[in-house]
Amino acid sequence: GQQVMQIPQYQHVQEGEDFTTYCNSSTTLSNIQWYKQRPGGHPVFLIQLVKSGEVKKQKRLTFQFGEAKKNSSLHITATQTTDVGTYFCAGRDDKIIFGKGTRLHILP
C-alpha cells in the first residue's frame, strides 16, 4: 500500500542554522502538503504543492516537490526559536497519508 516516509525523525540545530526535512512516497502523488504542529498544539496547514518540480517559498521556508512527484522537502533558513515543533508531510494518492514527522528542536 501507499507509504509516506519522512526523515529525519528528530533534528537539533543551533538557532540560526538551517534545517531540512525530507519526505518520500512509495507511489506518485497528486499533491503533497506540509503541516506544522507546535508542542501541545494541533497540526496547522502550511502549504500544498501540486506541480512536478514546484518550488514555493514562505519567508524563511522553502518547499520543493520532486520532478517525479514522489518526494518533497521543507527547508528552513536561519532557524528561530519560533520554528520549534514537528513538521509533517502528507501525501495524497487515492487518499491522504501523513508522514511520521520531523521534530525540530532549537538550541539557543
- Count CB-CB contacts under 10 A for residue 24: 17
**Residue (31 or 62) nearer to another protein, CB:** 31
Quick check: 56 binds another protein (CB under 8 A)? no
The pairing of beta strand 102-107 with beta strand 10-14: parallel
Listed ranges 16-24, 26-34, 55-63, 68-76: which one lies at the site for another protein (CB under 8 A):
26-34
- Count CB-CB contacts under 10 A for residue 85: 21
Quick check: 11 and 75 in contact, CB under 8 A? Answer: no
Interface pick for another protein out of 11, 20, 62, 98 (rule CB under 8 A): 98
How far apart are CB 103 and another protein at their closest, in Å?
8
Quick check: 95 binds another protein (CB under 8 A)? yes
